[in-house]
């Protein structure tokens, strides 16, 4: 390998918005990348149901589009040992590998320098003891985000990691963010992505792997839920003041942190590839997201039988594994009956996978204290069973973006297939 390579995944970011802020002098490192290396658009799936990041990033990791890899849900990659990922390919070629939060990726490496899984995929963490601890802490903090709770154990692990990977000169930056956690929207997510970035850079400097991957998701989350607050948004919709104050722009806040991370990565003097997988366009109406507080207790209340395990996924989704196909089928029948008494809208969407169900709490409207749902039973206090997650602001668009610091700005392909990112990386091996 001629030079070490870092793949930076900035999930779903809208480069038009980044250019808007960059032209105002707010994102100097993004502006440098755009001016010096340019970028290509990437194309992906055409069906909207396939425009999910956990599908697109499997395409980046395997070089196969959905028709070829057939991975439809977050976490499913763990069961697909037949799909060879870019991480194992690098290791098989004798290269050292490190990764922090690679999206929907399974850790199958024999000797990784470090591997922190994404918070939703059930695969092992590898590396120093603190890597194991911070992996569990981030997963807990992210998956309980709707409850706005972080366990004491997770807080301790995060503090220990911060003290280990962050230079004392950067402590004031974290302290300033933490002081604003009650007054500004989304600060916990900003801190977690900032910490993942610092953890990656700390581990990279220590081990200097030949190929490494850092994936960051808060920007995508903020576009989904606070795009209407962005100064770059020129639409007519607004978020309620109680949800996100008009004067706040969470997207700019996380982009500033990403810009700092890019500045640090550029100083490592490696080849840097930046990829977004998709981007987002403004949503056209208000859609509410809800998440169950306690999945196990709620399913027990509905008297759903034969459950082996329940695993929460991103936002409103969860996976239920059963002891038999019959149990799964009966559970699907039960869940699909439930609808709002108020407007007869279905509460859940269910994907049956024979002995497991992937369930989405897809009810899209506001839920008040008197909200009832009706199925085999009547649940009168449904509001007590759920947590508000967000209001949808952004929706997926198949166009993504791709920057390569080995490219020359005036010698770029305007559009490439997303799976070509995989080929570009493998060719460097």
More confident residue, 338 or 152: 338
CB crowding 360-376: b at 16 or more within 10 Å, else e:
ebbbeeebeeebebebe
- pLDDT tier, 134 (very low <50, low <70, confident <90, very high otherwise): confident
Rounded to whole angstroms, the Cα distance separating 326 from 265 reads 51
Rounded to whole angstroms, the Cα distance separating 398 from 277 reads 8
Q: What is the pLDDT of residue 19?
A: 97
Is 148's pLDDT higher than 70? Answer: no
For residue range 232-266, what is the model confidence (pLDDT) as tens digits? 999 999 999 999 999 999 999 999 999 999 999 99
Q: Are 74 and 120 in contact (CB under 8 A)?
A: yes
Q: What is the pLDDT of residue 147?
A: 54
Secondary element (H or E) of residue 116? strand 114-116
CA-nearest of 1, 15, 6 to 280 is 15
The secondary structure of residue 386, as a DSSP letter, is: E
Q: Residue 375 is encoded by which pair of tokens?
A: 């199925």
Angle between helices 250-266 and 28-37 (to 10 degrees): 60
Rounded to whole angstroms, the Cα distance separating 126 from 130 reads 10
Rounded to whole angstroms, the Cα distance separating 35 from 70 reads 37
Q: Residue 65 is encoded by which pair of tokens?
A: 């589009």
Is 411's pLDDT higher than 70? Answer: no
More confident residue, 134 or 276: 276
Is 22's pLDDT higher than 90? Answer: yes
Q: Which residues fall within 8 angstroms of residue 344, CB to CB, at 6 or more apart?
A: none
CB crowding 262-298: b at 16 or more within 10 Å, else e:
beebeeeebbbbbbbbbbbebbeebeebbbbeebeeb
Cα 110 to chain centroid, rounded: 25
- pLDDT tier, 40 (very low <50, low <70, confident <90, very high otherwise): very high
**Helix then strand then coil, % of the chain, to nearest 5:** 40, 20, 40
Sequence-separated contacts (24+) of 74-80 with Cβ below 8 Å: 74/104, 74/120, 74/121, 74/313, 74/314, 74/317, 75/104, 75/120, 75/121, 75/122, 75/311, 75/313, 75/319, 76/104, 77/104, 77/105, 77/106, 77/121, 78/106, 78/121, 78/122, 78/123, 80/106
Is 277's pLDDT higher than 80? Answer: yes
Average pLDDT on 346-372 reads 94
Q: Which residues fall within 8 angstroms of residue 30, CB to CB, at 6 or more apart?
A: 18, 21, 22, 255, 258, 259, 262
For residue range 209-232, what is the model confidence (pLDDT) as tens digits? 999 999 999 999 999 999 999 999
Query: What values do phi and psi take at 213, rounded to 5?
Result: -140, 125
Q: Are 213 and 9 in contact (CB under 8 A)?
A: yes
The least confident of 159-173, 245-259, 364-378 is: 159-173
Q: Residue 137 is encoded by which pair of tokens?
A: 């802490």
Side-chain-side CA neighbours of residue 366 (13 Å)? 7
Rounded to whole angstroms, the Cα distance separating 63 from 148 reads 37
Average pLDDT on 384-396 reads 94
């Amino acid at each position: 390998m001629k030079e070490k390579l870092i793949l930076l995944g900035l999930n779903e970011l809208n480069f038009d918005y980044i250019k808007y802020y960059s032209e105002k002098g707010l994102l100097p490192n993004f502006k440098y990348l755009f001016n010096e290396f340019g970028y290509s658009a990437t194309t992906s799936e055409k069906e909207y149901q396939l425009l999910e990041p956990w599908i697109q990033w499997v395409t980046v990791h395997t070089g196969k589009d959905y028709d070829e890899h057939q991975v439809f849900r977050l976490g499913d990659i763990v069961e697909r040992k037949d799909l060879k990922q870019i991480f194992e390919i690098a290791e098989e070629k004798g290269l050292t590998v490190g990764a922090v939060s690679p999206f929907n990726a399974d850790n199958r490496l024999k000797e990784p320098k470090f591997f922190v899984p994404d918070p939703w995929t059930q695969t092992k963490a590898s590396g120093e003891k603190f890597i194991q601890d911070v992996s569990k802490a981030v997963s807990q903090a992210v998956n309980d985000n709707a409850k706005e709770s972080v366990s004491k154990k997770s807080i301790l692990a995060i503090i220990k990691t911060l003290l280990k990977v962050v230079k004392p000169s950067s402590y004031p930056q974290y302290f300033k963010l933490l002081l604003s956690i009650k007054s500004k929207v989304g600060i916990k997510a900003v801190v977690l992505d900032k910490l993942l970035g610092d953890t990656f850079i700390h581990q990279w400097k220590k081990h200097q792997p030949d190929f490494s991957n850092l994936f960051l998701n808060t920007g995508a989350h903020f576009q989904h839920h606070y795009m209407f607050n962005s100064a770059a948004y020129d639409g007519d919709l607004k978020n309620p003041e109680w949800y996100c104050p008009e004067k706040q722009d969470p997207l700019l806040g996380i982009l500033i942190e990403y810009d700092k991370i890019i500045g640090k990565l550029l100083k490592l003097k490696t080849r840097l590839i930046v990829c977004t997988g998709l981007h987002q366009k403004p949503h056209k109406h208000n859609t509410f997201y809800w998440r169950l507080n306690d999945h196990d207790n709620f399913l027990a209340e509905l008297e759903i039988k034969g459950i082996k395990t329940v695993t929460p996924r991103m936002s409103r989704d969860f996976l239920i594994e059963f002891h038999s196909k019959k149990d799964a089928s009966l559970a699907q029948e039960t869940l699909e009956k439930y609808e709002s008494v108020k407007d007869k809208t279905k509460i859940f969407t269910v994907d049956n996978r024979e002995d497991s169900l992937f369930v989405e709490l897809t009810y899209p409207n506001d839920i008040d204290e008197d909200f009832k749902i009706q199925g085999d039973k009547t649940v009168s206090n449904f509001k007590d069973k759920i947590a508000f997650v967000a209001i949808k602001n952004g929706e997926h668009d198949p166009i993504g973006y791709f920057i390569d610091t080995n490219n020359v700005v005036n010698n770029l392909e305007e559009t490439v297939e997303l799976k070509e990112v995989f080929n570009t990386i493998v060719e460097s091996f």
